[in-house]
Amino acid sequence: MIESPSVHLLGLSAQEVETLVVSLGQPAFRAKQLRNWMFGNLEDDFAKMTNMPKAMLESLAIGHTCRVLKVKACQVAQDGTTKWVFETHDGHFFETVLIPTDDRRSICVSSQIGCAMGCTFCRTATMGFIRNLTLGEILEQAWYVSKYIKEKEGPEARLSNAIFMGMGEPLLNLENVALACEIFNSQEGFGIAKDKITVSTSGVAPKILEWGHRAPDFKLAISLNGSNDTVRSELMPINRRYNIETLLETADEYIRITGQKLTFEYILIKGKTSTPQAARELKRIASHRHCKINLIPLNRGNPDMEAPDDGEIAEFERILAQGDFQVLRRRPRGPDIYAACGQLATEQKKVA
């Protein structure tokens, strides 16, 4: 990765910001003021930070920046879902999505540019893996979307939920994602409740346990997507390394470590994962576990796959309803702009 020519202030810890302002000859309390301007007031213009010394602001303006991402495109779906394409300082592209409902404003966050997991139903997989996003790049997604919400809806509007279900495998960028979750939750950051922050993984078993120890207070979702190893290995190459038995043992240990209810995400693909037999297998997997299941009908992406019809989905749900766990069907948001689950992908220009 080409290093950014400027220090990205959003990506610095509170201690790092304090060290910076002290190095500029300022008292340590200026660090809290600076972070309040960035996160509390969503201000990126040093000239507008009026309660700080002019000399300090002039020094910050040389070699420091609050923002490193450029907005290259924005699309708004019929249901109000909004998708942005961001360009990084080194010339790559990734996407972020805002999902509004009557009582929630959820951001779907990307953690990587592209993805190495190779899931056959996911458009992001067609990009391959380019690199991890930095902590600052992850936070700037929430910064930009928060500013957009306030400008559109008023000063009291704010993000209510954050979900790491955008581009990439979050647990392969674990430390940056964990730090981002902490700042999403912090009252000095974005003030999102811990139980409204969810990280979704394709099932990298050792990283699930690492995550459980590193960030036990945030929600975890595992993309199961297959009820047996044959189907799951076809859809998700990660299953050839960590099969369903290994994944479930890991899930049980994660639940023991954290006490959290786990979410299994399950994509419904006609003829593959939506059959009555698959429903019965999934019911056996979820039964007697501290978990819930999110059913996700396939969104457009892979031309060789299609979603089941409403009748097939209803029968699948009927079988699962006999279990002792919660089942929710996720409604697609923003499919007309390719903003729904599994649809994020961008063309990448060549970088010298």
Active site amino acids = 95, 341
* φ, ψ dihedrals at 150, nearest 5°: -65, -40
Considering only CA atoms, which of 145, 135, 161 is closest in space to residue 95? Answer: 145
Which one-letter amino acid corresponds to residue 231? V
Q: What is the distance between the alpha carbons of residues 169 and 38, in angstroms, rounded to a whole number?
A: 28
**In which residue are the tokens 């056959």 written?**
120
- Dihedral, 112, 116, 120, 126 alpha carbons, nearest 10: 70
Query: In this structure, are residues 226 and 235 in contact, taking their beta carbons and an 8 Å threshold?
Result: yes
CA dihedral sign, ordered 352, 177, 251, 263: negative
DSSP string, 123-179: GGGGG-EEEEPPHHHHHHHHHHHHHHHHHHH-TT----EEEE-SSS-GGGGHHHHHH
Q: What is the distance between the alpha carbons of residues 225 and 134, in angstroms, rounded to a whole number?
A: 29
Considering only CA atoms, which of 101, 99, 119, 177 is closest in space to residue 345? Answer: 119
